[in-house]
Amino acid sequence: MAITLVNPDGLPQIDAYRQVSVATGSKLVFVAGQVAWDADGVTVGEADLAAQVEQCYLNVGTALAGVGGSFDDVAKLTVHVVDWTPDKMPLLMEGIARAAAKLGAAPVPPATLLGVAALDVPEHLVEVEAAAVLD
């Protein structure tokens, strides 16, 4: 495995993700921001943040599988949420948990959560991009 996830001493121990990823592989993979579209380009979970988060993570997983990778290879995630407020955290975590169950992996690499005003399509509530390293 090309990625080792670490929570170093001296930094907060956050359950939702690890603070650091150490990459030792040789193939870098950058996944474009994934929104809640299914394979036909239809929005999944309109007005349902948890459902959209789940679909975004599944789409990242599909993109990685297409190049021989998986969530185990993710070094960093960036999550953009429209009109972010802290009260949305339970829905975000619910969507991540549902995706993790389907992916058979705990997607906990270092992550950055950004609140944004809008995304490309008005019904999209979240977008997830990933950087991965494969052996």
Long-range contacts of 7-15 (CB under 8 A, 24+ apart): none
Q: Are 124 and 35 in contact (CB under 8 A)?
A: yes
pLDDT one-digit tens code per residue, 98-117: 999 999 987 678 999 999 99
- SS3 call for 93: helix
pTM: 0.91
What percent of the chain is modeled with pLDDT above 90?
A: 81
The predicted model gives 4-19 an average pLDDT of 89
Give pLDDT, residue 98.
Answer: 96
Confidence band of 33 (pLDDT split at 50, 70, 90): very high
**Which carries the bigger pLDDT value, residue 5 or residue 59?**
59
